[in-house]
Structure 1
Amino acid sequence: MGRLTTHVLDAAHGCPGSSIQVELYRVEGAALELVAKAETNSDGRCDTPLLQGDDYRSGVYQLQFHAGDYYRARGVTLPEPAFLDVVVLRFGISAEQEHYHVPLLISPYSYSTYRGS
């Protein structure tokens, strides 16, 4: 059965991105429906899949990672407004039986992502 997972790596400090607030939204046209909220653990991962079971279905989704709050909590001085405060990733799930893993590599001024395994 399919599921959606994520994790965050902090490229600026060379460590997992822990205690980062993550929100998952289902995108329906112009509307966003909040599906799940989580916080990354000490390994930069959420303790449970963000989406699984009957809630896991094809469609367009949006992950929001509160990177600015994370860096401020680490004592990093950011300009106001921060260049990357909330990182927003919009992606599609087309194969309901597959595991979708969306990793995020962040720094205060850049990010990258890909479909992981």
Structure 2
Amino acid sequence: MTSHVTTHVLDASAGRPAAGIRVVLATASGDGVAATSGTIVAQAVTDPDGRASLGPEQLTAGDYTITFLTREYFAEQGTAAFYPFVAVTFAVEVADDGSSRHYHVPLLLSPFAYSTYRGS
């Protein structure tokens, strides 16, 4: 079975994949001003290549949040970090026929900055 959501975390400060980061996928809700996480859908830990698969083969339409537990990762590296976690909220769309594209949410990480984008 293929997961509907995948991620790849790269540690820009070290120039290598970020292995061992705990990642949580949960439903999300909010009005655009304040988003809250709801039900946990899946959890994973990034592999030696910094990759993780989350969730079932298909998600229902709606908003979801991937939370990367970065404090734990940087503490294990002996590095202070400004962000204790990174939460990325995104929308899953499902077509009328029930199909949906794969969602890949990469994270480029350093102790004091991060960026993300819609991957493929």
**Offset of 1:22 from its aligned partner?**
0.4
**Offset of 1:51 from its aligned partner?**
2.1
Separation of aligned partners in 2, 1:66 and 1:24 = 12
Separation of aligned partners in 2, 1:91 and 1:3 = 13
Which residue of the partner structure matches residue 11 of structure 2?
10
Separation of aligned partners in 1, 2:37 and 2:23 = 18
**Offset of 1:7 from its aligned partner?**
1.1
**Offset of 1:5 from its aligned partner?**
0.7
Which residue of the partner structure matches residue 113 of structure 1?
116
Q: Which of residues 25, 49, 55 in structure 2 aligns to 1:51?
A: 55
1:4, 1:101 within 8 Å by CA — same for their partners in 2? yes
Separation of aligned partners in 2, 1:26 and 1:7 = 20
Stretches of structure 1 lacking an aligned partner (at least 5 in a row): none
Stretches of structure 2 lacking an aligned partner (at least 5 in a row): 31-35
2:103, 2:119 within 8 Å by CA — same for their partners in 1? yes
Identity, in percent, stands at 42
Query: Does residue 1:34 correspond to 2:57, yes or no?
Result: no
Q: What is the identity, as a one-letter code, of the residue corresponding to 1:86? A: F
Separation of aligned partners in 2, 1:97 and 1:20 = 27
Q: What is the identity, as a one-letter code, of the residue corresponding to 2:62? A: G
What value does the CA root-mean-square deviation take over the aligned residues?
1.8
SS at match of 1:53: coil
Mean Cα displacement is larger for which, 62-71 or 28-37? Answer: 28-37
Q: Which runs of 4+ in 1 moved over 6 A?
A: none
**Offset of 1:115 from its aligned partner?**
0.4
Which TM-score applies when normalising by structure 1? Answer: 0.85
Which residue of the partner structure matches residue 65 of structure 2?
62
Which residue of the partner structure matches residue 92 of structure 1?
91
2:19, 2:49 within 8 Å by CA — same for their partners in 1? yes
